[in-house]
Amino acid sequence: MQHTKVSFGSLWRGAMASITPSYDREGEHIGWKVSVRKKGFPSQYQTFRTRKEAEAWAVIIESEMTRGVWRDRSESESTTLKECIERYLSEVTPHKKNQHPEELKLQQWLRRPISKRFMASIRGKDVADVIKDMESEGKSKNTIRLHLAVLSHLFKVAKTEWGMEAISNPCEAVRKPRLPQGRDRRLVDNEETRLLDACRDENPDILYIVRIAIETAMRRSEICGLQWENVNLARRVAMLPDTKNGTVRRVPLSSDALEVLSALPRRIDGLVWDVNADTVTRAFKRCCKRAGIEDLRFHDLRHEATSRLFEKGLNPMQVAAITGHKTLQMLKRYTHLKAEDLAKLLG
């Protein structure tokens, strides 16, 4: 079979693109090979299924070279998202403070068809299609946003550190799922008494952990990781050296919190409790079910404790120092004051 080569001059001086048909081993025409050459730039090559796609790509490359905005696409056009995810897991994730959740999200991206696409070919529409898939799988809006955040950072790293300057971040071109209003679940009526009774029946540790959560506004992970060397009963302070925000926090201990900690025995390993966060969550769910309490999560106790601090008359800066919130806007999401208590302050 005769192979024909078609060249066409660029609209801009000094650049030339050539397009040649591509054949398989049996001589069947399978596409078009494009090469673009311009003095001062490395030659660019690409293969397309149709002649129209080949010509469009050549025009774009020539235009960018002539205007001085061209960026080398070879790396992004020959590297798949799968390869980038594997590299990210090897080079970036290990340096993150909380690696496991990110690893799980990236593993899910690896299992999706989009991971087989070359980085340069992934568009906002492709990511939008994955968002629809996640919604059909029953993922929450916040979970989807977290998946997108991981992918977005991967594209940022690929663009700034892995030689893929020409790619655009497809996550920036899609509409993120809108988050629902923040939860405002508070303990009402006699729920606290019923909850504590159920925790007492479950085991002493979960009872003490729930009481500490209500009194200190500490997160589940902070409570489970608490060590005796960081608890000063005399000064009524618990130091948290490893918090979600990455800063050291000193939490004042109320009389009830002090009573709980004073009654606990000292462990040889230095931990206040021998229990992990997932165990606390499962036990808490059982206690709520036993107490007949619906739609209450362990993290809601942080909401409850934060609101109680305001109800005691502390100002926002004082509350933020206890809870560890970085901004007043973040603090507002966790603060839901009872109208009847505010009415008492009004006189």
191-346, superfamily in CATH? Intergrase catalytic core (1.10.443.10)
CATH 1.10.150.130 for domain 78-173, yes or no, is yes
Which one-letter DSSP state was computed for residue 119?
A: G
pLDDT for residue 337: 58
Q: Has residue 133 got a pLDDT over 90?
A: yes
Is the CA virtual torsion 336, 242, 92, 277 positive or negative?
Answer: negative
Distance, CA of 249 to CA of 239 (rounded, Å): 6
DSSP 179-201: PPPPP-----TTHHHHHHHHHHH
Q: Has residue 258 got a pLDDT over 80?
A: yes
| Residues designated as active site | 219, 244, 299, 302, 325, 334
Q: What is the pLDDT of residues 292-338, one digit of tens each?
A: 999 999 999 998 998 888 888 888 888 888 888 877 777 776 555 56
Residues carrying CATH 1.10.150.130, the chain: 78-173
pLDDT for residue 339: 67
pLDDT for residue 155: 95
Helix runs in the chain, H state only = 51-67, 74-78, 81-91, 99-110, 124-136, 141-161, 191-202, 204-216, 220-224, 255-262, 277-291, 300-311, 316-323, 328-333, 339-346
Q: Has residue 7 got a pLDDT over 60?
A: no
What is each CA distance from 29 to 17, 111, 141, 180, 249, in whole angstroms?
20, 33, 46, 53, 67
Q: What is the pLDDT of residues 171-200, one digit of tens each?
A: 998 888 887 666 778 888 899 999 999 999
Q: Has residue 79 got a pLDDT over 50?
A: yes
Longest dimension (CA), the chain: 96
Q: How confident is the model at residue 204 (pLDDT cuts 50, 70, 90)?
A: confident
pLDDT for residue 3: 46
Q: Has residue 1 got a pLDDT over 70?
A: no
Q: What is the pLDDT of residues 90-121, one digit of tens each?
A: 999 998 877 888 999 999 999 999 999 999 88
For the segment 159-179, the average pLDDT, to the nearest whole number, is 86
Q: Has residue 61 got a pLDDT over 70?
A: yes
Q: How confident is the model at residue 10 (pLDDT cuts 50, 70, 90)?
A: very low
Structure tokens given for 198: 């159920």
Q: Has residue 247 got a pLDDT over 90?
A: no
Distance, CA of 88 to CA of 106 (rounded, Å): 9
Residues carrying CATH 1.10.443.10, the chain: 191-346
pLDDT for residue 336: 58
Q: Taking all residues of the chain, what is their mean pLDDT, rounded to a whole number?
A: 84
Q: Has residue 347 got a pLDDT over 70?
A: no
Q: Has residue 6 got a pLDDT over 60?
A: no
Q: How confident is the model at residue 341 (pLDDT cuts 50, 70, 90)?
A: low
> What CATH number belongs to 6-70?
3.30.160
Residues carrying CATH 3.30.160, the chain: 6-70
